[in-house]
Structure 1
Amino acid sequence: MKTFTAVVEKDRDTGLYVGYVPGFPGAHSQGETLDELRRNLQEVIEMLLEDEEPVVDTEFVGIQQIHVA
């Protein structure tokens, strides 16, 4: 079993949750709920893994807030 870290955002215009796996080309999707997004991302990742083993060239470290005056 492999574990991937997805970045998730909510699009204010559409209200959809949008997610992607940094450094994994093609590993992105959207959904009306977080559960739907998770299922959609899982399906996309499974399909991509069928083709070949990806070379994920980044590692999730964390997030930072940057304050600008």
Structure 2
Amino acid sequence: MARKLRFTIILRREEEGGYSAQCLELPGCISEGETREEALENIKEAIRGYLEAFPEEAEKLKEEKELVEIVV
């Protein structure tokens, strides 16, 4: 069984309604949905499509990384 990859998603409620979802590990991988659940399902689909189009990105994701939060 293939190892599952973990992704960090920024989920935002939009002023005009609905939600947007952005995957931090995959630049430009963004989706949306009317509900929180729909946005999360749509970003999963977008991630799968991104990795199909750019399979080399999956290998980069297996490398060690550090997530740092800063305040400016």
Could you state the TM-score of these two structures normalised by the residue count of structure 1?
0.72
- In terms of fraction of residues, the more helix-rich structure is 2
- In 2, the alpha carbon distance for the partners of 1:35 and 1:47 equals 19
Letter in 2 for 1:10: R
Q: Is the 8 A contact 2:11 2:20 kept in 1?
A: yes
2:10 equivalent among 2, 7, 11: 7
Letter in 2 for 1:2: L
RMSD value over aligned CA atoms? 2.3
User: Deviation at 1:38?
Assistant: 0.8
Q: Percent identity?
A: 32
2:44 equivalent among 42, 45, 50: 42
User: Deviation at 1:59?
Assistant: 5.2
Could you state the TM-score of these two structures normalised by the residue count of structure 2?
0.69
Note the alpha carbon deviations across 1:20-67, whole angstroms, 9 max, x for none.
0124123110111111011100000001111223256x8544576x7x
Correspondence for 1:20: 22
Structure 2 residues not aligned, in runs of 5+ = none
Structure 1 residues not aligned, in runs of 5+ = none
